[in-house]
Structure 1
Amino acid sequence: MESFGGPTMGSTYSIKYARTQGLPAPKEVQVEVEKILADVDRQMSTYRSDSDIERFNDLPADRCQTMPAPILELVRVGEQLSQQSEGSYDITVEPLMNLWGFGPQAREEKVPSAEALANAMQRVGHAHLHIDGNQLCKDAAVEVDFNSIAAGYTVDTIAARLEGLGIHNYLAEATGELKAAGKKLDGSPWKIALEEPRDDQQVAERIINVDGYGVSTSGDYRNYFEQNGHRYSHTFDARTGAPITHNLASVTVINPSTLMADGLSTLLLILGPERGWDYAQKHNIGAFFVIRADTGFVTRTNQAFERLSGGKTE
C-alpha cells in the first residue's frame, strides 16, 4: 500500500492506493495530485488575494470577470443547491461570515447589529450572479465562497486523475472529504470511521465500507462561539442571515459525486433535523444524521445511506 499527503486549503490531504505492477511510483502520483491542489488554490481560495475568486469578490457591482471552467461549474452547482433549498444554502454568504466573525476578513466573533446585518444581506443571494459565456458577472457587490463545495470538487478531480493513471484501488481525501474505490491490497474494503461530534475528543461513531462513492461530513461542533448563553455556528442560513440554531450537530452524505456529497451535507445541515431529513428522503440522498439530545447525541440513518455504505458493519 502506497500513501502520501501534505498541507492543503488550510488543512491536509492524503492519498492511499494499492500499487501493483505497472502503476506509477508515489512521487509521480504526488506531483500530479499537487498540481490539482495548486490549481484549486489559485482559482478558489478565499485566503489569498490573488486567487481568481477573490479578484472577482473585490469587484464592485455590475462587473464581469473571465473565469476558468471549474469556477463556472461550481457556481452552477451552487445555484442548483440554492434553488433546491429555497435559498437557505447559498455560496454568496461570505459577507455574513465576515460580519459574524467566521470569514477570511473577520475581526471578532460577535452578534452583529440589526443594521449591519441588513446591510450585509443586500450583498447576499445567488440571484445577483450570472454567467455570460466564460464570464462570471454580478449585479450587486456579492462575494462568492466555495468552502462548502471546493474540497468535494478537488477530491473528484484527484480521483479522476488517479483513474487516468491506471489506479483503480484508492482512497483520496482532502480536508476531510473523501472518495474511495476498489479494494485494499489484501482484498478488504476501504473502511471509513464517522465520528461522534464531541467538543472534548474524537470518538468513532460508525464504520462504513466505501467503494466508488464520495463521503462528506458537515458539522457545527468545531467552529462556533457562544455569547449570552447562545451558541452560534459557522453554518449560515442565507434566508435569515444568521447561523443555524437547531439541534442537528452533523450530517454525513454518501454520493457517487464527492462534490455533491460536500454540497448536500451542508445543505442538509442548514435545513436541520426535520426539514433536512425530509429533503434527504424525498431526493433519495444517503444521509447519516447526528442530533443533539439532552442525554448526548442520537443518530439517524436512512435506507439510501445503508445501501450505499454496504450496510451496518459495526
Structure 2
Amino acid sequence: MFRLPLFTLIFLCLVGCEQKTQYERLTGFTMGTTYQITLESQGIDSKKLQQQVDDRLIEINQLMSTYIADSELMRFNGNQTTDCIPLSADTQYVIESAVQIAKESNGKFDVTLGPLIEIWGFDKKDTNNQIPSQETIDNLLETIGTDKITVEQSCVAKKLANLSINLSAIAKGYGVDEIARIVEAAGSQNYLVEIGGEVITKGVNSRQKPWVIAIESATLDQRSIQKTLTPNGLGVATSGDYRNYFEKDGKRYSHTIDPTTGYPITHNLASVTVLHPQVMFADAYATAMMVMGPEASLAFANRYNLPIFMLVKSSAGFEEVYSEAFKPFLSDL
C-alpha cells in the first residue's frame, strides 16, 4: 500500500510564447524526493517565499517522517502505552483523515500496515524475497488496523501499545496542500505545485492557458504520455504497481499490500489517477484504489463522485477506464 517515490505524472511545460506576466520556478528537495513550484510571481519576493516553503516542509517532516528518529510520529510510535497522547494539530489532522479514509474504503487504506510491508521486504528490511507463512501473516493482521487508533479532540491513542503509524501514503499530499496555501498567501493565484508526482494547480500558466498535466503510460521500457488532463484547480495523485515488485518461482509479487488479507494485490489494475480538492485525499484514495482493483475502484469513485482514471492490464495491453466525474477534466491536446 505504501508507495516509494513514483513519478507517474509528467508536466507539460508550455513554452516558446512571450509571457504576458512574470512567472518563476522554484525547486528543492523534501520527503525523499523533489518539489517544484511554478507560479505567477509579479510583486512576490521569491526568495522569501521559497524560505517559507522550505521551513514548512522541514516542519512537516519533523512531525510526520518515519525516517527522522525523533519526529513527532516516531516518538508517538515508540511510546509503548495506550494513553491518549497530545499531538500537533497537523499530525492529528492527517491521522484523523487517514482513519476516515480507512473507514470509507473498508480497510483498504491502512496507515498501520508497516509490519506487513516489512515482512514482505518492501521497506528497510532485506528478506531475500522470502514468502512469509500464512501463520506469520495471520499473526501480523492481529496487530494492525486503523480501528486500533482512537482520535480524541486533543490527543491520539493506540489500542495496542506496540501499534505504529506510517503516514507516507498521505503526508506528501498534505505537503502539497500546505505549499499551495503558502503560495496563495504570498499573493499568487496562478500556480502549479508538485512533490514527487503529487500536484495541484490553480488559475493559468504563463501562456494564460489552463494548466495541462499528462498521465504516464504504464510501460516499463520507456516513459511516455498516456492521457492529458486539465485539473481546473483540483489536486492530482497517481498510484501504480508496475515498477516496484519482485518475482519468485515464476510468480510476480506487487509492492502494494492488501491490508485486509496481508498479501500483495493480484488484480490487473496497473495505475490509478485521482482528482480531489485536497491532494492529501487524492494521495490516500489513489493508494486505497490500487488495493481495491478496477471494478471496486470504479464503484467507489461513482459512489463518492470522484474523478478517477485507471489503466487496466488486458491481453491487448492497457485499457483506459475512468469515472463519469473524470470526463470534464480530459484535455483536448
TM-score by length of 1: 0.94
Contact 1:149 1:262 in 2 (8 A): yes
Deviation at 1:302?
Answer: 2.2
Q: Is the 8 A contact 1:99 1:112 kept in 2?
A: yes
In the alignment, which residue of structure 2 is the partner of 1:291?
312
Q: Provide closer, same or farther for how the CA distance between residues 109 and 58 of structure 1 changes in structure 2, counting only shifts above 3 A.
A: farther
Which residue pairs with 2:120 in the alignment? Answer: 100
Match of 2:205 in 1: 184
What is the 5 A alignment of 1:154-303?
A: 154-303=175-324
In the TM superposition, what whole-angstrom CA distance separates every residue of 1:12-57 from its partner, at most 9, and x where no partner exists?
A: 111111222x222x22111111112101111111122111111222
Residue 285 of structure 1 aligns to a residue in which SS? Answer: coil
TM-aligned CA deviation for residue 118 of structure 1 = 2.1
Correspondence for 1:127: 147
Name stretches of at least 5 consecutive residues in structure 1 with no aligned partner.
Answer: none
CA distance in 2, matches of 1:183, 1:73: 30
Larger strand proportion, structure 1 or 2?
Answer: 1
User: Deviations for 1:204-224, whole angstroms, at most 9, x for unmatched residues?
Assistant: 111112231100001112221
Q: Is the 8 A contact 2:84 2:157 kept in 1?
A: yes
Structure with the larger RCO, 1 or 2 (CA within 8 Å, 6+ apart): 2
Deviation at 1:186, TM superposition (A): 2.0
Tell me if 1:17 matches 2:39.
yes
How far did residue 291 of structure 1 move?
A: 0.6
Could you state the TM-score of these two structures normalised by the residue count of structure 2? 0.89
**RMSD of the TM alignment (CA)?**
1.5
Supply the distance in 1 between the matched residues of 2:77 and 2:243 (Cα, whole angstroms): 27
CA distance in 1, matches of 2:172, 2:95: 14
Aligned position for 2:136: 116
Please say if residues 298 and 322 of structure 2, whose CA atoms lie closer than 8 Å, have aligned partners that are also in contact: no
1:219-270 deviation line (CA, Å, top 9, x unaligned): 1122211122222222221110112110001100111111111111111111
Q: For structure 2, list consecutive stretches of 5 or more residues without a partner in the other structure.
A: 1-22
Identity of aligned residues (%): 36
Deviation sequence 1:97-119 (CA, Å, 0-9, x none): 11111124555443212222122
Q: Which of 163, 168, 171 does residue 147 from structure 1 map onto? A: 168
Report SS of the residue matched to 1:180: strand
Write the letter of the residue equivalent to 2:77: N
**Alignment-derived partner of residue 14 in structure 2:** none
2:18 corresponds in structure 1 to none
Give the match for residue 28 of structure 2: 6
1:102 touches 1:109 (CA, 8 Å); kept in 2?
Answer: no
Does 2:53 align with 1:40? no
The size of the alignment, in residue pairs, is 310
